[in-house]
Amino acid sequence: MRLEGKVALVTGGGSGIGRAIATLFVEEGASVIVNDVVLEGAQKTVEGMGPAGARCMAIKADVSSSVEVKSMFAQIAARYSTLDILVNNAGIGETDAKHGEEIRRKADARIMELMSGGEIGTHWDVTSEMSDVDWSRMIGVHLNGTFFCTREALKLMGAKNRGAIINMSSVAGLGGLEYAPNYSAAKGAILGFTRAVAKEVASRNIRVNAICPGWIDTPMTAGQAESPLLKRALMSRVPMGRSGQPREVATTALFLASDDSSYFTGQWLSPNGGLFIGG
Ligand SMILES: NC(=O)c1ccc[n+]([C@@H]2O[C@H](COP(=O)([O-])OP(=O)(O)OC[C@H]3O[C@@H](n4cnc5c(N)ncnc54)[C@H](O)[C@@H]3O)[C@@H](O)[C@H]2O)c1
Ligand 1 site-directed mutation target among 36, 86, 231, 237, most atoms within 8 Å of CB:
36
Cα angle 151, 156, 158; round to 5: 85
Classify strands 31-36 and 206-211 as parallel, antiparallel or unpaired. Answer: unpaired
Average pLDDT in the 253-275 region?
Answer: 98
pLDDT band at 100 (very low <50, low <70, confident <90, very high): confident
Whether 226 shows a pLDDT value over 80: the answer reads: no
**Which residues contact residue 131 at a Cβ distance below 8 angstroms, ignoring those fewer than 6 apart?**
none
pLDDT tens digit sequence for 109-129: 999 999 999 899 999 999 999
Average pLDDT in the 30-40 region?
Answer: 98
Fold of 7-95+136-221+243-269: Rossmann fold (3.40.50)
Mean pLDDT score across all residues of the chain: 96
Ligand 1 site-directed mutation target among 35, 218, 272, most atoms within 8 Å of CB:
218
Q: What is the pLDDT of residue 43?
A: 98
Query: 140 near 182, Cβ under 8 Å?
Result: no
How far, in Å, is the centroid of ligand 1 from the Cα of 241?
Answer: 23
How far, in Å, is the centroid of ligand 1 from the Cα of 11?
Answer: 9
How far, in Å, is the centroid of ligand 1 from the Cα of 117?
Answer: 37
159 in contact with ligand 1, CB cutoff 6 A = no
Q: What is the pLDDT of residue 278?
A: 75
Whether 277 shows a pLDDT value over 90: the answer reads: no
- The residue whose CA is least distant from atom 19 of ligand 1 is 220
User: Ligand 1, closest atom to CA 92?
Assistant: 27
Task: Say how far apart CA 110 and CA 61 lie, in whole Å.
Answer: 39
pLDDT band at 279 (very low <50, low <70, confident <90, very high): low
pLDDT tens digit sequence for 128-177: 999 999 999 999 999 999 999 999 999 999 999 999 999 999 999 999 99
Query: 57 near 80, Cβ under 8 Å?
Result: no
- The residue whose CA is least distant from atom 28 of ligand 1 is 91
- Rounded percentage of the chain residues whose pLDDT exceeds 70: 100
36 in contact with ligand 1, CB cutoff 6 A = yes
pLDDT band at 99 (very low <50, low <70, confident <90, very high): confident
Least confident of 30-34, 76-80, 97-101, 233-237: 97-101
Residues designated as active site: 183
Whether 95 shows a pLDDT value over 90: the answer reads: no
Least confident of 34-48, 75-89, 103-117, 219-233: 219-233
pLDDT tens digit sequence for 181-220: 999 999 999 999 999 999 999 999 999 999 999 999 999 9
Query: 143 near 193, Cβ under 8 Å?
Result: yes
User: Ligand 1, closest atom to CA 19?
Assistant: 16
How far, in Å, is the centroid of ligand 1 from the Cα of 258?
Answer: 22
Task: Say how far apart CA 214 and CA 235 lie, in whole Å.
Answer: 11
